[in-house]
Amino acid sequence: MKQNITLSLDKDLIKKAKVISAKRDTSVSKLLGQELRKMVESAESYEAAKRRAIANLRAGWHLGGKVIVSREELHER
Q: How far apart, in whole angstroms, are the C-alpha atoms of residue 39 and residue 45?
A: 10
Stated pTM of the model: 0.68
The predicted pLDDT at position 63 comes to: 85
Residue 50 resides in a domain: yes
Domain count, the chain: 1
Report whether 21 contacts 27 (CB < 8 A): yes
2 lies in a domain? no
With beta carbons less than 8 A apart as the criterion, state whether 14 and 28 touch.
Answer: yes
Domain contains 3: no
Question: What integer pLDDT is reported at residue 77 of this predicted model?
Answer: 67
Classify residue 4: in a domain, yes or no.
no
For residue 5, tell me if it sits in a domain. Answer: no
Domain assignment present for residue 68? The answer is yes
Q: Which domain holds residue 50?
A: 11-74
- Tell me the C-alpha distance between 22 and 18, whole Å: 6
For residue 15, being part of any structural domain is answered with: yes
Residue 53 lies in a domain: yes
Residues of the chain with pLDDT under 50: none
Q: Is residue 16 exposed (0-12), middle (13-18) or buried (19+ Cβ within 10 Å)? A: exposed
